[in-house]
Amino acid sequence: MQSFKSTSILRHFLQKFRLVSQSRSFCGVSSNVLIDEPESTVLVEGKASSRTAILNRPHVLNAINYSIASRLMKLYKSWEDDPDIGFVVLKGNDRAFSAGGDIVSLYNLLKQGNFQDCKEFCWTMYSLVYVVGTYLKPHVALLNGVTMGGGAGISIPGTFRVATEKTVFATPETLIGYHPDAGASFYLSRLPGYLGEYLALTGDKISGAEMISCGLATHYSHSAKIRLIEEQLGTLITDDPSVIERSLGNWGEIVHPDPASILHRIETLDKCFSHDTVEEIIDALESEAAKQDAWCVATLRKLQETSPLSLKVSLRSIREGRHQTLDQCLRREYRMSVQALSGQITSDFCEGVRARLVDRDLAPKWNPPTLEKVTDDMVDQYFSPLTAFEPELELPTQQREAFT
C-alpha cells in the first residue's frame, strides 16, 4: 500500500490551516544531563523555500533532550512567521530519526532530586508536539531509521511521514514502567481496529512497510532514495501541500508487510485486545494460546515483561484518546507523566530505566508486582487533576486549534 491519497492529506492540512489561519500575520540512552548546546543539537539547512531541521545527537540515536525540544520550538515558530519559508523538513543525523525522549537523563535528574527540570522537559516536549500537529505550513518528516516514543511524537502529527526499509517504530514505554506519551494516545487510538492498544501495551516494533500499511506513515521509499527526495524538495518554491505530495510521490514505492507481520493477524489481535480490561485481554490471549497459536504465546511473553501498573494506565489512556482531540490527549498525558515521574504512586519508571538502560540486568522489580495488586485508586490517580500548586499543561488552543 502506498501513501494516503492526496485528498486525504489535503483535507488534513486544510482543516488545520482553516482553524488557525487567523494567527498567521525510547527512549534515549544518554548519561548526560538534559541540556546540551542548543545550536549543536539541532542543525539547520536552508533551501529555496524550505528549512530542514536535523536532530543531531547520533551517539544516543538522536534522543530528545530539553535543548532539542526548546530549539525546535523556537525554530518552528520563527519559520512559521517567515513568509519566505513555505514548508519544513525534519530528519535525524546518521542511522536514527529519534529513539525518543532522553529517559536516562530524566532518570539521573530524578535520582538527584531535580523533579522540576523533568517537568519542564515534558512541558516543552508536549508543547512541541502540539505545534507540529497544528503547524500552518506543510511538515515533512523523513523517518529513515529508529522512530520511537517522543521521536514519533514530533513527526506523526505532521503532514507527511516518509518511512523506509530502515524505519523501526515502537512505543516501548510499558517496558520501563511508563506510558506511551507525546501524543501517542491520540495517534495510536486512531489506528485500524485495536492495533493501537496492542502496540501501546506490548511495546512491539513494526517496520516501515507496516507503518505505511496502517497509516502511521504517508509515504514509503527505499533509503537509497532519501537523498534524491531531499534534493527535489530543496528545489521547490511552494507552501502548497499538494505540490509536496506529488514530489514525495515521485519517489514512492508500493510495498507490502512481511508475511509474519502483525497486520496479518489483525483479526486475532482485535478479538483479544478489544476487551475492556488488561485481565480480559490476557484471558483472551491465553484462550487462543491454548489452541497452539504461537503469536498469542509470544504476545503473552511480551506482556509479562512490562509493568503491571503501566499496562492498566496505558490501556485507559488509549481508550480515552479515542474520544479526545490532540490537545486534550497532550494535557492528560502531561498529567500522567507528572504523576509517573513524581514517584508518589510507584517508582516503576526509575526501576524500569535502571533495569533496561542503566544496570541492564533486565530484572525490574515492579511495584505493584502483579495486576491483581494494582488498585483502581492507583490508576485513577494518574488521570486526576494536578494539585493547585502544580499547573496543568497550557496549550495555545485559541490561536492554533487542534484537529480531531
Secondary structure element (H or E) that encloses residue 43, with its range: strand 42-46
> Strand pairing partners for 64?
101
User: Which one of the listed residues 28, 101, 151, 203 is annotated catalytic?
Assistant: 101
Catalytic residue among 150, 151, 215, 252: 150
pLDDT at 53: 97
Predicted confidence (pLDDT) at residue 373 exceeds the cutoff of 80: yes
Write down the pTM of the prediction. Answer: 0.89
Active site residue 36: no
Cite the beta strand spans of 211-369 per DSSP E. 219-220
Cell 482543516 locates to 15
Predicted confidence at residue 292, as pLDDT, reads 87
pLDDT band at 21 (very low <50, low <70, confident <90, very high): very low
Q: Is 62 left (phi over 0), alpha (psi -120 to 50) or beta?
A: left
Sign for the pseudo-dihedral over CA of 359, 119, 172, 156? negative
- Residues 6 or more apart whose Cβ sits within 8 Å of residue 367: 309, 346, 347, 348, 351
Q: Which tens digits make up the pLDDT trace of 215-263?
A: 999 999 999 999 999 999 999 999 999 999 999 999 988 999 999 999 9
**Which residue in the list 181, 210, 288, 401 is annotated as catalytic?**
181
User: What are the Cα distances from residue 182, in Å, to 13, 35, 128, 332?
Assistant: 20, 19, 9, 10
CA atoms of 398 and 354, how far apart (whole Å) = 41
**Is 173 a catalytic site residue?**
yes
d(CA 63, CA 227): 23
Catalytic residue among 80, 102, 173, 333: 173
* 330-359: pLDDT as tens digits: 999 999 999 999 999 999 999 999 999 999
User: pLDDT (tens digit, 9 = 90+) per residue, 38-92?
Assistant: 578 999 999 889 999 999 999 999 999 999 999 999 999 999 999 999 999 999 9
DSSP assignment letter at 193: T
**Comparing C-alpha atoms, which of 13, 33, 28 is closest to residue 117?**
33
- The confidence score (pLDDT) of residue 403 equals 58
pLDDT at 404: 54
pLDDT attached to residue 5: 39
Indicate the length of the chain as a whole number.
Answer: 404
Place of cell 523501526: 168
**181 assigned to active site:** yes
Torsion of CA 153, 58, 229, 136, to 10 degrees: 30
How far from each other are the two terminal CA atoms of the chain, in whole angstroms?
Answer: 24
